[in-house]
Structure 1
C-alpha cells in the first residue's frame, strides 16, 4: 500500500523538491507543538522561506498537516509491505523489526507526530486507518496465519503480533525521554540498540518460529 501525498496543481520537479523541504520543516514543528500549537509562521521560518511562499504550495495549515501525516505513513508502512508469503517467517519478521528500529532511530519526530495524532482520535487519518491500513494489516495477518498453518510458527494471534511489534519498536522514539532517563542511553548507542533489537527478536520471533532458521 502506498499513501500518497496530495500533489499541487503545478507539476514541476523544483516544486516537488520544495514541497519536500516544507514537509520536513513542518514535521519538525508539528511534532513539537501539534496542529493547534504550530503556526505557519514557525514552519516558514524553519523552512527558511516567507509565509506567502509557503502558502503558494499549501493553501492551509490543515492541508500541510495532512500532507505531513501522509508522508509519515508512507515511510512507516513501507516495511510492512515487504512481508511476503514466499519468505520464511524468521527472515521476514526479523527484517521488519530491524527496519522498524531503524525508523525509530532516524525518524523520532515522525513517530511522535503520528502518536500524537492517534492519541487525539486520529481526526485526519481515520479514513486511511480504516481503509488502506486495515486492508494492509489484514493481508499481512493472513500471511502469518498461513505460516502457522504450514507448521512454521507456533499458534498466535497474528494481529496482536503486529501490534506488539509496533508497540515495542516505536516505544524507543515515542518514549525516548523516559528511556534515556532510566538507562542513560538511546538508540544512538550502538550496543544499546543491538540489545533492544536482540531482545525483541528473542521475544517475538525466535520464540515463535518452529522451523530452524537463521535469524538476522
Structure 2
C-alpha cells in the first residue's frame, strides 16, 4: 500500500484540529440557536466552546464563516427525509412517514431547527443560494410526486405546496416554539402526543 505523501499528511487535519473544529461548531450552534446571528458574538462562542477567541479564528475566518458552515451542513440533513419519499411507494404511508420523520427531527435537532428558522426570518441572507439551487428543485420534484398521486386518485385532492408548508409548520413548531409548548402542555411526552395527532390529522386529510 502506498504511503501518503507529505502534502497529503500536511493537508489532513489532526485529531485535535478535528475535535476543536467540532467543538466550535457545536458551541456556535448553541449560541446561534438562542441568540440568532445578529445577537451572537465570537466571544460567546469561545466561552461556550471553552476556547480562546484567537483559537476560534484559527479555524474560522469569523462569525459568518461559522454560521455558513453550520447552515451548509444543516441543509443536507434537513432535506434528507424529503429525498427519501418514494414515488413508487404507497402515497399515504410515504407522506405520513415524512411527517413523522420531520417531527422526530424537531425532537432530535431542536437547535438546528431554530438556526434555520432564524436565518429564514432574517430573509435568508446567507442561505438564499441554497434555497434556489437545492431546496426549490427538490420541492418541485416532491410537488410533482404528490400531484401525480392526486391525479391517480390515490390520495385526496390537495394543494401540494401548501401540504408541504403545513407539514413543516406542524412539525418544526415543536422545536422552534419549544418554550411555549412546554409552558402550555403538561404531557410527559409531548412528541408522542404530537405524533398521534399529526398521523390522524394528515391521514384524514389525505385518505380517499
TM-score, L = length of structure 2: 0.87
Equivalent residue number for residue 138 of structure 2: 136
Equivalent residue number for residue 177 of structure 2: 175
Specify the structure having the higher radius of gyration (Cα): 2
Checking the alignment, whether the CA contact within 8 Å between 1:161 and 1:204 is kept in structure 2 is no
Provide the C-alpha distance between the structure 1 equivalents of 2:61 and 2:192, rounded to a whole number of angstroms: 44
1:60 lines up with 2:58 in the alignment: no
Runs of 4+ displaced beyond 4 Å:
none
Sort the Cα spacing of 1:24 and 1:92 in 2 relative to 1 into closer, same or farther, 3 A. Answer: same
The alpha-carbon deviation at position 174 of structure 1 amounts to 1.0
Map 1:76-87 → 2, pairs under 5 A: 76-87=78-89
The alpha-carbon deviation at position 13 of structure 1 amounts to 6.3
Provide the alpha-carbon RMSD of the alignment: 1.9
Equivalent residue number for residue 111 of structure 2: 109
The alpha-carbon deviation at position 29 of structure 1 amounts to 0.6
The alpha-carbon deviation at position 132 of structure 1 amounts to 0.8
Provide the C-alpha distance between the structure 2 equivalents of 1:33 and 1:113, rounded to a whole number of angstroms: 9
The alpha-carbon deviation at position 34 of structure 1 amounts to 1.6
The alpha-carbon deviation at position 117 of structure 1 amounts to 1.2
Checking the alignment, whether the CA contact within 8 Å between 2:100 and 2:195 is kept in structure 1 is yes
How many corresponding residue pairs? 198
Higher helix proportion (structure 1 or 2): 2
Equivalent residue number for residue 161 of structure 1: 163
SS in 2 for 1:59: coil
Map 1:114-133 → 2, pairs under 5 A: 114-133=116-135
* Unmatched segments (≥5 aa) in structure 1: 1-8, 211-216
Equivalent residue number for residue 203 of structure 1: 201
Checking the alignment, whether the CA contact within 8 Å between 2:24 and 2:49 is kept in structure 1 is yes
Determine which of 26, 30, 33 is the counterpart of 2:32. 30
The answer to which of 199-208 and 149-158 deviates more is 199-208
The alpha-carbon deviation at position 168 of structure 1 amounts to 0.2
SS in 2 for 1:73: helix
Provide the C-alpha distance between the structure 2 equivalents of 1:19 and 1:205, rounded to a whole number of angstroms: 43
Sort the Cα spacing of 1:18 and 1:96 in 2 relative to 1 into closer, same or farther, 3 A. Answer: farther
The answer to which of 133-142 and 192-201 deviates more is 192-201
* Unmatched segments (≥5 aa) in structure 2: 1-9
Checking the alignment, whether the CA contact within 8 Å between 1:58 and 1:64 is kept in structure 2 is yes
Sort the Cα spacing of 1:153 and 1:13 in 2 relative to 1 into closer, same or farther, 3 A. Answer: farther
